[in-house]
Chains A and B, each alone.
Chain A
């Protein structure tokens, strides 16, 4: 067993290399990369300054292509001057000491950018995941025990609707109806906290009635607010996005719980348990549930990778400045150092998550022994 997990841990290395080599190759050969964007930017600048502008346009002959020397200069600045294998090797060496380079766009170390946003995605993702488990498991159990009832059919309808609507689309819908005056303007449009005093929910204004918690421009001074107000404001901003995260896995988790429980209720060992004279509650919640939750518990291991990867569209919709949002904008802007940084992080989380899943499997199901 130990040797199995050591082997699994060692396998992370080639997998990581494989994924990053492919991604690195793509960043090199995809058109519209940072070098081309920079050239384009400079050309636009020159064009708008006019031919007579002089100075800045010196590297560029306005009537023809950019000079080779200038192009080399730009390539060098982005590290594109070296052959791909050398560049990759350089990148890998730096990654080993957690140096992911500097963002092209923000001129900030990628590592710091990730650290700043990681906890935001983690909180939203894990709350959504936890919520989905807390709702889906009891609902799935109830549906299995009431299989074929009106409640079962009714909740199945909701489950299938939930399954058909992606989280981000639901987000747009909910924002339209609950955060604008189209129906009820009761929840914020996005972000993770309120910016100006004017937009604060009434309840916080009531708590903070005598405190001056804003400056001359009406901008909130977060530090001056009480803990309760901060907490309420955070929760106020979390309701819709966390709900959307939940919907993403709610449907499949519910059906998985239901099917797994129903399958197990038909097993011989359940009949044995009843024949022993056990109470139905004990048969269902001890004997059957323990077996039914095996497939669900192992899903927890994949949660980490899922929380990161599954979030970018929801973070976009709700304007949450997390890892997903950062990754998405970096791809659009060809900010490859950031893309590679986030990719490396996701690969590691997913791979470790898989191993964690296997460990959970072995812990929960005594029949599983990895060789």
Chain B
């Protein structure tokens, strides 16, 4: 449902190769003598011009996935144990640290949840934007300043030439997130990873920031966005496709239209049911019972079996496969084989 009226650049799943290919990615964290997996064998593709949503509750492994793509997993204790991350065919896990630095902020940029703390408090906003430019491009200080002012103006910061000299604490939350976006996009990256970019903002600002991100993506040929969120309403407004994660595994992959029209995985159903609806008036919103288990206490069999409303015996013993049911749609659930849901 990506804003159809403005979108001149839609993803082409058939003819263009994916910008980013993640295959069987495993990220483990050392806890005492154990190496539990926060991300356990996830795979997905990101196509040019696409906005891909990664959805899940806290602790489902979505942020770890995004940090792994940037190779920013704190090591120790974390480690990318297995898998492959390819950027336009180039394996990111094999390149040197220096080569990876060229990718960060230049080809793949990232913005974070907390604009309050994500900027360095003792440097001016301008310095922090200019720093990104001067890290990746050999330009003069004046040139970098010009570019920074231009970029800050583009993200909707009024009087950018003056505000360039201000410190983050002099910016409001929304303005700071705009500055973060300016910092991320100033080198024209092909992929923007937005990790809960609007969670810390108030509702009106949220919409503005999302619109801004989409608008800037449209102006950039072939650029795509990975939007990490727990908010399905945000996904519905912005994304083309969605990856639903739970317990470090992909549970369902679908286009936004199909996912909202007919969710297949009980977890996705639960997430959708917990959205407020405009059609029926409910006193209380639905909640999925229980919490995401810690990675140290993942159940055997299906990871969701402890909280699933449609659980069957098999779920407790046998891990379901990720079934490809055509049209790029994938679901990890036994019910599909049992024919109950198929």
Contact = CB atoms under 8 A, between A and B. Distances in A.
Nearest to A276: B105
Contacts of B123: 287, 290
Interface stretch (A92-100, A117-125, A265-273): A265-273
Determine chain A's interface SS by DSSP, over half rule.
Answer: helix
A138 B122 CA distance: 21
Nearest to A274: B72
Contact of B136 (A269, A277, A287): A277
A277 B72 contact: no
A337 B52 CA distance: 80
Contact of A367 (B112, B121, B132): B121
A277 B183 contact: no
A168 to B, nearest CB: 38
Interface in B104-149: 104-106, 109-110, 112, 114, 117-123, 131-132, 135-136
Interface residues of B, number: 27
Contact of B167 (A272, A277, A287, A367): A367
A279 interface: yes
A275 B167 contact: no
Interface in B67-99: 70, 72
Contact of A287 (B110, B120, B169, B183): B120
Interface in B182-222: 183
A231 B180 CA distance: 56
A290 B122 contact: yes
B103 interface: yes
Given A275-B104, A277-B102, A277-B105, A269 B135 contact: no
A274 B103 CA distance: 11
Interface string A27-54: 0000000000000000000000000000
A291 B120 CA distance: 9
A268 B70 CA distance: 15
Q: How large is the interface on A (under 10, 10 to 19, 20 to 34, 35 or more residues)?
A: 20 to 34
A366 interface: yes
Contact of A277 (B106, B120, B122): B106
B112 A277 contact: no
B110 A275 contact: yes
Contacts of A291: 120-122
A96 B169 CA distance: 44
Given A272-B183, A291-B121, 7 more contacts: A268-B118, A269-B118, A275-B109, A277-B101, A277-B102, A290-B120, A294-B122
Closest 9 CB pairs of A and B: A277-B104, A277-B105, A276-B105, A268-B117, A269-B120, A366-B167, A275-B110, A268-B118, A277-B101
Interface of B: 70, 72, 101-106, 109-110, 112, 114, 117-123, 131-132, 135-136, 167, 169, 180, 183
16 contacts: A268-B114, A268-B117, A269-B121, A275-B72, A276-B131, A277-B101, A277-B103, A277-B106, A278-B101, A278-B131, A287-B120, A291-B121, A291-B122, A294-B122, A366-B122, A367-B121
